[in-house]
Amino acid sequence: MVNVLSNISNIIIPLVIFYIVAYGLAAKTEVYDDFVKGAKEGVMTVFQIMPTLVGLMVGVGVLRASGFLDFLGKLLAGITEQMGLCPDLVPIMIIKMFSSSAATGLVLDIFKTYGPDSVTGMITSIMMSCTETVFYTMSVYYMAAKVTKTRWTLKGALISTFTGVIASVVLGKMM
């Protein structure tokens, strides 16, 4: 079954590209010129959001290297254990809001310590799947779109992240 899906995806991607080019030619547009123009705009967007990305990455690196996240996990251990969370999951909950790749590094540490099939490993896996990189997403996309009034976005995103954490604990303990 996996080989069938792999072969289908190997066929679909070139077909989609061919369809886009054929559609552009049928519409009598300059396909290559439009591609180059879009590529230039993409590069400009990358340059615009690069300072934000670098700032987020440096901040996450400082928090992780300083031991602050481990300290916070130990500090909140009483509360997290009552919720059914291992204190080692607190850094993942916090870092995931800023960087999914940095959180993945922490996930690997959890897997080495507890194992991927443990309750803590299951909760970690589900948490990574049902929470969002709130601050990364807001800063990058709002900056690119030049949105200045975020209204309820942060509150809604934090509520949904908290809900995702609760769901991951419930589902992880069921397995």
Task: Give the start-to-end residue ranges of the domains of the chain.
Answer: 48-174
pLDDT in tens, 127-159: 999 898 888 888 878 877 888 888 888 899 999
How many whole angstroms separate alpha carbon 47 and alpha carbon 82? 45
Q: Cα separations (Å) of 44 from 40, 41, 47, 48?
A: 6, 5, 5, 6
How many whole angstroms separate alpha carbon 142 and alpha carbon 49? 10
pTM for this prediction: 0.68
Print pLDDT tens along the chain (175 aa). 668 877 887 889 899 999 999 999 999 999 899 989 999 998 998 888 788 778 877 887 888 889 898 898 888 888 888 887 888 898 898 889 888 888 888 899 899 999 999 999 999 999 999 898 888 888 878 877 888 888 888 899 999 999 999 999 999 988 7
How many whole angstroms separate alpha carbon 175 and alpha carbon 25? 53
Q: 3-class DSSP state for residue 5?
A: helix
Q: Concatenate the DSSP letters of all residues of 103-169 into one string.
A: HHHHHHHHHHHH-TTSHHHHHHHHHHHH---HHHHHHHHHHHTT----TTHHHHHHHHHHHHHHHHH
Q: Which contiguous run of DSSP H or E holds residue 47?
A: helix 31-66
